[in-house]
């Protein structure tokens, strides 16, 4: 009997691992360490960006990639206790503290992206980070996503990427310099062949800088902890772990790129952005007017009329992926920001 049970578990493990690989491979395209590969009229960041913030970088099972050297080095130097010690626990509601610590200390996966530096108005940046319904709405306006997202509480959101992943997450802490999010993620593959439940903690650290020409810049990085809660996870972990680690590499990096790409598109096509924002009826009218007014205030002489075309999206993506050391900024006092 024991031998029969062992064979049954082994067969289930092989089948589940195969199904997980098939489920991922059917929909994903590898991304090399040089960054997202441009496919047709849209880049992989463009195609995936909606998922990055829909699931708050939680769609680690949905985005393919090849680990880069930068990620490998980051993983080796990881110290969870140092991260825990760096967080402002006095500012975090007591009911969240134990859950955050549990996920971070017992995470099956962890990644922290390299810091990214890009030009953006601090108030616009915070509007995109603090209002994911708005951010996803702008991507939806450009087309190409089945994702949906809604606010279900003062700082709680629920989303579905249309491909089997649902997530509910909370903004545990939302300050201009630090965002901490906690999420419950559920992924169901085709024909329910794969079922995964996970808890995720996402940390977004942000600095606000100004260069010698008085241009505002953002420097941020994203850190993610993923704890798999699914029963039977250990049985498929040997096969699934390297797959998911590869997926997480690019997903976390692209979360940062996603915001900077969208910021570039708004700056270059303010007429489109203002019109698209006013259509986001899930946001209060006053908030829509405030953000649209901010975009108008920051309008640049080189702004282009109309909607971003495929070439503009690709150009913004290439700028985000290739940006490094644009200037040598000096610290900038925070602008009045659109915070919660």
| pLDDT value, residue 173 | 97
Residue 336 lies in a domain: no
Residue 297 lies in a domain: no
| pLDDT value, residue 274 | 93
Provide the domain limits for residue 253.
Answer: 13-258
Q: pLDDT tens, position by position, for the chain (340 residues)? A: 545 544 544 444 455 445 544 444 443 333 333 333 333 334 444 444 434 433 333 333 222 222 232 333 344 446 899 999 999 999 999 999 999 999 999 998 888 888 888 888 899 899 888 988 888 888 788 775 677 788 899 999 998 877 778 889 899 999 999 999 999 988 777 766 667 888 999 999 999 988 878 888 888 888 889 898 887 666 666 666 665 665 555 555 556 567 777 888 888 889 999 999 999 888 889 989 999 999 998 888 888 888 877 666 666 666 655 554 444 455 555 554 444 3
Residue 247 lies in a domain: yes
3-state secondary structure the chain: CHHHHHHHHHHHHHHHHHHHHHHHHHHCCCCCCCCCCEECCEEHHHHHHHHHHHCCCCCCCCCCCCCCHHHHHHHHCCCHHHHHHHCCHHHCCHHHHHHHHHHHHCCCEEEECCCEEEECCHHHHHHHHHCHHHHHHHHHHHCCCCCEEEEEECCEEEEECCCCEEEEEEEEEECCCEEEEEEEEEEECHHHCCEEEEEEEEEEEEEEEECCCCCEEEEEEEEEEEEECCCCHHHHHHHHHHHHHHHHHHHHHHHHHHHHHHHHHHHHCHHHHHHHHHCCCCCCHHHHHHHHHHHHHCCCCCCCCCCCCHHHHHHHHHHHHHCCCCCCCEECCCCCCCCC
Residue 268 lies in a domain: no
Residue 337 lies in a domain: no
| pLDDT value, residue 264 | 81
Which CATH number do you get for residue 158? 3.30.530.20
* Total domains, the chain: 1
Residue 101 lies in a domain: yes
Alpha-carbon gap, residue 213 to 107, rounded angstroms = 43
Residues 6+ apart with CB under 8 A from 106: 227
| pLDDT value, residue 133 | 85
Residue 313 lies in a domain: no
Residue 332 lies in a domain: no
């Amino acid at each position: 009997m024991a031998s029969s049970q062992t064979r049954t578990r082994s067969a289930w493990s092989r089948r589940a691992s195969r199904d997980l690989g098939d489920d991922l491979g059917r929909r994903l395209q590898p991304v090399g360490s040089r960054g997202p590969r441009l496919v047709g009229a849209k880049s992989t960041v463009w195609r995936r960006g909606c998922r990055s913030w829909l699931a708050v970088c939680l769609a680690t099972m949905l985005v393919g990639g090849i680990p880069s050297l930068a990620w490998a080095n980051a993983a080796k130097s990881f110290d969870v206790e140092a991260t825990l010690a760096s967080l402002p626990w006095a500012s975090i509601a007591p009911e969240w503290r134990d859950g955050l610590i549990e996920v971070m200390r017992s995470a099956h996966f962890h990644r922290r992206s390299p810091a990214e530096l890009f030009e953006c108005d601090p108030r616009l940046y915070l509007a995109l980070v603090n209002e994911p319904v708005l951010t996803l709405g702008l991507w939806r306006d450009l087309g190409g996503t089945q994702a949906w997202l809604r606010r279900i509480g003062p700082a709680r959101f629920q989303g579905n990427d249309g491909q089997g992943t649902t997530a509910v997450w909370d903004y545990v802490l939302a300050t201009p310099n630090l965002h901490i999010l906690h999420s419950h993620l559920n992924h169901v593959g085709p024909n329910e062949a794969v079922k995964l439940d996970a808890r995720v903690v996402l940390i977004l650290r942000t600095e606000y800088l100004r260069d010698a020409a008085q241009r505002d810049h953002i420097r941020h990085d994203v850190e993610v902890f993923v704890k798999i809660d699914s029963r039977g996870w250990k049985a498929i972990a040997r096969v699934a772990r390297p797959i998911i680690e590869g997926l997480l590499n690019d997903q976390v990096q692209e979360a940062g790129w996603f915001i900077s790409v969208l910021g570039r598109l708004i700056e270059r096509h303010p007429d489109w952005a203002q019109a698209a924002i006013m259509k986001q009826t899930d946001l209060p009218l006053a908030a829509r007017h405030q953000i649209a007014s901010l975009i108008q205030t920051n309008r640049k002489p080189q702004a282009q009329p109309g909607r971003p075309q495929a070439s503009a999206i690709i150009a913004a993506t290439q700028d985000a992926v290739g940006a490094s050391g644009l200037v040598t900024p000096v610290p900038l006092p925070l602008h009045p920001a659109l915070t919660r």
